């Protein structure tokens, strides 16, 4: 349902649209820069009006890409701006990844430092301790072997002692 207020608002919007289209045409004819700010100022509208009416903004961009003098290419095109934006986004992603990597590295370093300074961390002479452990393990293996040999000798001596005692008891030695 339309009301006089809605009709007035629609008529005002249409008048603004016509002023924007006229400002674009005038700027193209005069060779002035086609920017949203200049066109909005010339049409006596707010810049947000252009952004709310995408078709007008598209007309502005189309006119801007066509208004270059023949034989010369514009210094900045939509394609070059898109390429620059894509490159900037890719660089930002790389930098973000690098920052995260550096933050993780810093976090590990600070964590290890705090762990060491607290006295609960791994001693700095780990290699020396590993060497001592290896040496002690080898010594324990050697001592175990020696103990087994001595036990075997002791068993042999006990067996010989039993044989001698039995032989003496069978002869009846006093």
Residue 2, domain member (yes or no): no
121 phi, psi to nearest 5 deg? -80, 175
Q: Are residues 60 and 95 in the same domain?
A: no
Q: What is the mean pLDDT of the chain?
A: 86
**107 domain-assigned:** yes
In this structure, are 22 and 58 located in the same domain? yes
CA-based R_g, the chain, Å: 48
Residue 100 lies in a domain: yes
* Mean pLDDT, range 50-54, rounded to an integer: 88
Q: Examine the domain organization and report whether 131 and 112 are in the same domain.
A: no
Whether residues 23 and 45 fall in one domain = yes
Q: Are 41 and 25 in contact (CB under 8 A)?
A: no
Per-residue confidence band for 47, with pLDDT thresholds at 50, 70 and 90: confident
The answer on 116 and 141 residing in a single domain is: no
Range of the domain at 113: 77-122
Tens digit of each residue's pLDDT (9 = 90 or more) over 14-25: 999 999 999 999
| pLDDT score for 174 | 57
70, 20, 45, 10: CA torsion to nearest 10: -160
174 within domain boundaries: yes
Same domain assignment for residues 58 and 106: no
Q: What is residue 45's three-state secondary structure?
A: coil
In a domain, 115, yes or no: yes
Same domain, 133 and 147: yes
14 is written with which tokens?
């249409």
Count of structural domains, the chain: 3
Give 120's pLDDT tier (boundaries 50, 70, 90).
Answer: confident
On whether both 171 and 144 belong to a single domain, the answer is yes
Confidence grade of residue 82 (pLDDT, cut at 50, 70, 90): confident
pLDDT digits (tens, 9 = 90+) for 57-72: 888 888 877 765 555 5
């Amino acid at each position: 349902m339309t009301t006089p207020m809605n009709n007035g608002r629609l008529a005002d919007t249409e008048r603004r649209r016509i002023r924007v289209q006229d400002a674009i045409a005038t700027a193209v004819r005069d060779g002035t820069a086609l920017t949203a700010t200049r066109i909005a100022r010339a049409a006596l509208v707010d810049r947000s009006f252009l952004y709310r009416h995408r078709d007008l903004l598209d007309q502005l961009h189309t006119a801007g890409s066509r208004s270059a003098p023949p034989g010369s290419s514009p210094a900045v095109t939509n394609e070059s701006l898109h390429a620059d934006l894509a490159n900037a986004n890719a660089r930002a992603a790389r930098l973000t990844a690098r920052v995260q990597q550096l933050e993780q590295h810093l976090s590990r370093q600070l964590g290890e430092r705090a762990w060491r300074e607290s006295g609960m961390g791994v001693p700095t002479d780990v290699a020396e301790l590993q060497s001592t452990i290896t040496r002690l393990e080898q010594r324990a293996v050697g001592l175990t072997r020696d103990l087994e040999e001595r036990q075997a000798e002791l068993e042999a001596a006990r067996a010989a002692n039993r044989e001698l005692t039995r032989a003496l008891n069978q002869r009846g030695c006093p």
